[in-house]
Structure 1
Amino acid sequence: MQDMGFSCRIPCVKPHLNKRQHQKRLAWAKDKKDWTAAEWSKVMFSDESKFCISFGNQGPRVWRKRGEAQNPRCLRSSVKFPQSVMVWGAMSSAGVGILCFLRSKVNAAIYQEVLEHFMLPAADELYGDADFIFQQDLAPAHSAKATSTWFKDHGIPVLDWPANSPDLKPIENLWGIVKRKMQYTRPNNSEELKATIRATWALITPEQCYRLIDSMPRRIAAVIQAKGAPTKY
């Protein structure tokens, strides 16, 4: 297999898409194909992500000598129910907003509180008096009728969005950057985990955000080329 150019790798994980979702992603991408990076800079992207306390996270492989298999530095520890936190965040081409740590399962009422106390201040900081478009996925709390009413009452346009499309969200890349930077941290409890997330999130620069937003036309072109299938992003 190696002589034929194959190598053993962990497979990339992509959302499963049915035929209808392929079609909707393709239609959405074709509708947005003429948007420029400047137009995408008016979009505030939002998302939630789960962070777990990592115990002895040394990556998938370690270097060791014969007889060192049980050496503590060569082990990866595991727990059945690791402590974790769920985080809501937002970004634009100008930078990131304030993080919100979610204490419970998010319903429409809780989500509207997040919008009121975290999204609106982030919009003021990132856009000032300029108009912007808000992006969110199709989670039930996001698409609830009461949430739609909240956006209308506040005069905030919401970007239409295809289901199962993390490859179209630059903020997914930011979560990845934060988690990679935290790979070798050792928080002992959820409060230390939150502090580490905040400190790492604060290191994200406007330049990083700008580059990610600038990739939107390329992401859309990739979806069109893939006929709606998952892309490399």
Structure 2
Amino acid sequence: MRKTADLTVDQKTTIDTLHKEGKTQKVIAKEAGCSQSSVSKHINREAKGRKRCGRKKCTSNRENRTLERIVKQNPCKNVGEIHKEWTAAGVSASRTTTHRRMQDMGFSCRIPCVKPLLNNRQRQKRLAWAKDKKDGTAAEWSKVMFSDESQFYISFGNQGPRVWRKRGEAQNPRCLRSSVKFPQSVMVWGAMSSAGVGPLCFLRSKVNAAVYQDVLEHFMLPAADQLYGDADLISQQDLAPAHSARATSTWFKDHGIPVLNWPANSPDRNTVENLWGIVKKKIRYARPNNAEELKATIRATWALITSCCSAGAWNTADNRIEHPFTVALVLGCY
């Protein structure tokens, strides 16, 4: 049997109609398919004109609008600070009431997303770039080979898998996640396109123009041959000093490879960043102990991604890309 709060609109209509006809509550309950107590409570509530129970709110709509304005102006303040500012505006309410009103307005405390710091000039350039690229077709974007470097660490800080443990096992070595002050790391260069991913390059030194050109010569060109063959391609890279150096631009011109125009400070538009995130998420569970194990894990994960690309088996439900250049369209155009 349903409770009064669970009555459907049809049941409530049936109860009201039969009650006006003078039917007994037993008959009404049978016709409506609910308990007799539910019928009785609904009839009594309608007779008394009671729409809801509970104490009247201690704050007015105007005071609630003041709170909403305070939250929007200071979204990074905690509940205590917001409550103090709200009461300073002449509102008499407790900290719990402040928190409850914020929840009623739809506010939730969440970890903020991290985005590049942009000035107005950079924003305008990003907007102009998006407008210029918004009409790009899938065939045009499939010619673009996205590439970038990424740093991989053995320790992932607070990220990583959770652990199942019993009470008193918090210090059990089996339940601990190790941390070091200066974790070993490796710098990796990789490339991807609608045709799949290319070979990885593990960098041993700081990336300057000379090192980057060696990477292009020994890894980018083989990746282009692997992914495109004799077809035309467009290389994508960000505006890091090694990428935007005059010698690097000359290298691309000498090899006849066009470079995609790219707005400054825009790593969030690069599809390969999504791929790095996928790889880092998957290697968290491997827990490598040194740099060589970390490299082996990255290679193994990258090899799996290569087979997924060639088979077209990317799945967004598994936090993977549905199709490589689908994200290029989404992140690159909008």
TM range, smaller chain: 0.7 to 0.9
Cα gap change, 1:220 to 1:199, in 2 (>3 Å): closer
Corresponding residue number in structure 1 for 2:195: 94
Corresponding residue number in structure 2 for 1:52: 153
Q: Is the 8 A contact 1:138 1:163 kept in 2?
A: yes
For residues 115-139 of structure 1, what are the alpha-carbon distances to aligned partners after superposition, in whole Å with 9 as ceiling and x for unaligned?
0000000000000000000000001
Q: Is the 8 A contact 1:93 1:213 kept in 2?
A: yes
Corresponding residue number in structure 1 for 2:269: 168
* AA matched with 1:95: G
Alignment partner for residue 297 of structure 2, among 185, 196, 200? 196
Corresponding residue number in structure 2 for 1:225: none
Q: Is the 8 A contact 2:193 2:324 kept in 1?
A: no
1:215 aligns with 2:327: yes
For residues 134-169 of structure 1, what are the alpha-carbon distances to aligned partners after superposition, in whole Å with 9 as ceiling and x for unaligned?
000001111111111111110000011011212211
Structure 1 residue 54 displacement after superposition: 2.8
Q: Percent identity?
A: 80
| Whole-angstrom distance in 2 between the partners of 1:157 and 1:70 | 56
- Deviates most, 79-88 or 49-58: 49-58
Cα gap change, 1:123 to 1:220, in 2 (>3 Å): closer
Cα gap change, 1:221 to 1:42, in 2 (>3 Å): closer
| Whole-angstrom distance in 1 between the partners of 2:239 and 2:136 | 22
Cα gap change, 1:122 to 1:168, in 2 (>3 Å): same
| Whole-angstrom distance in 2 between the partners of 1:178 and 1:117 | 23
Residue segments in structure 1 that go unaligned for 5+ positions in a row: 223-233
For residues 59-84 of structure 1, what are the alpha-carbon distances to aligned partners after superposition, in whole Å with 9 as ceiling and x for unaligned?
38655544443333443322111000
How large is the RMSD of aligned CA atoms in angstroms? 2.2
Cα gap change, 1:56 to 1:21, in 2 (>3 Å): closer
Report which structure shows greater RCO (CA 8 Å, sep ≥6).
Answer: 1
| Whole-angstrom distance in 2 between the partners of 1:64 and 1:166 | 39
| Whole-angstrom distance in 2 between the partners of 1:124 and 1:91 | 13
Alignment partner for residue 9 of structure 1, among 81, 103, 110? 110
| Whole-angstrom distance in 2 between the partners of 1:131 and 1:117 | 19
Cα gap change, 1:210 to 1:153, in 2 (>3 Å): farther
Structure 1 residue 216 displacement after superposition: 3.0
State the TM-score, normalizing by the size of structure 2: 0.62
| Whole-angstrom distance in 1 between the partners of 2:179 and 2:149 | 24
Corresponding residue number in structure 2 for 1:148: 249
In structure 1, the residue corresponding to 2:323 is in which secondary structure?
Answer: helix
**Matched residue count:** 222
| Whole-angstrom distance in 1 between the partners of 2:242 and 2:199 | 20
* AA matched with 2:270: K
Structure with the higher helix share, 1 or 2: 2
| Whole-angstrom distance in 2 between the partners of 1:127 and 1:196 | 27
Cα gap change, 1:83 to 1:160, in 2 (>3 Å): same
In structure 2, the residue corresponding to 1:215 is in which secondary structure?
Answer: helix
Structure 1 residue 37 displacement after superposition: 1.6
